[in-house]
Amino acid sequence: MSLEGGCDCGAVRYRMESAPLIVHACHCRWCQRETGTVFALNAMIEADRVTVLGAEPELVMTPSASGKGQLIARCPACRIAVWSHYAGNGPFLRFVRVGTLDDAGALPPDVHIFTASKQPWVPLPPGARVFPEYYRREEVWSEDAKARYAALLPAINAWKAQK
**Phi and psi angles of residue 152, each rounded to the nearest 5 degrees, phi first:** -85, -25
Write the pLDDT tens digit of every residue in 35-61: 999 999 999 999 999 999 999 999 999
CA distances from 96 to 41, 43, 125, 161 (A): 8, 5, 22, 26
The CA distance from 21 to 64, in Å, is 22
Q: Which fold has domain 3-162?
A: glutathione-dependent formaldehyde- activating enzyme (gfa) (3.90.1590)
Residue type, 149: Y
> How many degrees, rounded to 5, is the angle at CA 141 between CA 59 and CA 47?
25
Write the pLDDT tens digit of every residue in 120-141: 999 999 999 999 999 999 999 9
Write the pLDDT tens digit of every residue in 86-99: 888 999 999 999 99
pLDDT at 148: 98
